[in-house]
Amino acid sequence: MPAAAPRPKVMGIVNATPDSFSDGGQFASAAAAAEAGADMAGQGAAIVDVGGESTRPGSETVWEGDEIERIAPVIRQLATGGTAVSVDTRKSAVMDAAIAAGATIVNDVSALTYDERSAAVVAKAGVPVILMHHQGDPATMQDNPRYEDVLVEVYLWLEERIAAAELAGIERSNILIDPGFGFGKSVAHNLELMNGLALFHSLGCPIVLGASRKRTIGALSNEAPADQRLAGSLAFALKAVEQGAQIVRVHDVPETVQALKVWRGLRDQALTPRA
């Protein structure tokens, strides 16, 4: 079995959007979104990831001003309350505003390829950045994703993005990677990535995995809708940490935290020498 991360962390998802695939439109106000994020932190999330633009398959681009208006007050309230916040965005102006509001991590689903200013913003701020693999843009990425070897191609692409980030002045110690489960991948591609996740440790950066409530779970469970994919989400989270993923990005924080506590208890017991 691949070496497991000693203390995998949970990243809770707060989408301050009207159209995210699972929780879009759930929060009537910034205050409600911030309250949900604070609840996640209280339930054991080490980080709360706040986004103002849906990047689900088929989604449309949001104007950066609208995105900032959605997320800045949420981030400010969470950060003021002592919650560690990451911002889920592809746009440099949004990154700037989020960092000014108190975000301490940038989570970019484009791996700093969407906006040519993004790398400079991250480098100047000196904050960690999550570089996520994707194939195509959100509007069309699931139309017909193709790979000769998905593990090798995602690995090499991430290797290139790590190098580009370093060239832009971002410290390697501030780089995390995400193989992009569901972003330009078929069900088969996603399962191959999950089964081979440990490969990405050789890139030398912490691994973030976001499979919570994704379409693959529905495909494997009689087309269960997004709000009925908890069990599958937990299965993927446990599979990820078994292969050493340092962070799992999830919608269902208390359930995932509990599952990881039991997983860790089992692992620690197995490693405890008998008297």
Confidence band of 63 (pLDDT split at 50, 70, 90):
confident
Q: What tokens appear for 267 in the block?
A: 């692992």
Of residues 101 and 59, the one with the higher pLDDT is 101
The Cα 262–Cα 110 span in angstroms is 34
Confidence band of 4 (pLDDT split at 50, 70, 90):
very low
The Cα 123–Cα 220 span in angstroms is 40
The Cα 68–Cα 256 span in angstroms is 29
Residue 6 confidence (pLDDT) above 80: no
Phi and psi dihedrals of 37, rounded to 5? -65, -40
* pLDDT given at position 163: 98
Which DSSP symbol is given to 244? T
Which DSSP symbol is given to 86? E
Q: Which residues contact 144 (CB under 8 A, 6 or more apart)?
A: none
Q: Mean pLDDT over residues 113-126, rounded? A: 97
> What is the b/e burial string over 76-114, where b = at least 16 CB atoms within 10 angstroms of the residue's CB?
bbbbeeebbbbbbbbbbbbbbbbbebbbbbbbbbbbbeb
- The length of the chain is 275
Other Cβ atoms closer than 10 A to 165: 24
**Which residues are paired to 176 by β-bridges?**
130
pTM recorded for the entire structure: 0.90
Dihedral angle computed from the Cα positions of residues 45, 235, 33 and 62, in that order, rounded to the nearest 10 degrees: 120
Q: What tokens appear for 189 in the block?
A: 């591609």
CA 176 to chain centre: 10
The Cα 16–Cα 74 span in angstroms is 8
* pLDDT given at position 204: 97
Which amino acid is located at 177 in the chain? I
Place of tokens 């309250």: 35
Say which range, 12-26, 109-123, 229-243, has the weakest mean pLDDT: 12-26
Q: Which residues contact 50 (CB under 8 A, 6 or more apart)?
A: 14, 16, 33, 37, 71, 74, 75, 78, 85, 86, 87, 88, 98, 103
- The residues annotated as belonging to the active site are 214, 249
Q: Mean pLDDT over residues 103-125, rounded? A: 97
> What is the set of domains in the chain, with CATH numbers?
9-267 (3.20.20.20)
* pLDDT given at position 87: 98
Alpha carbon distance, N-terminus to C-terminus of the chain: 25
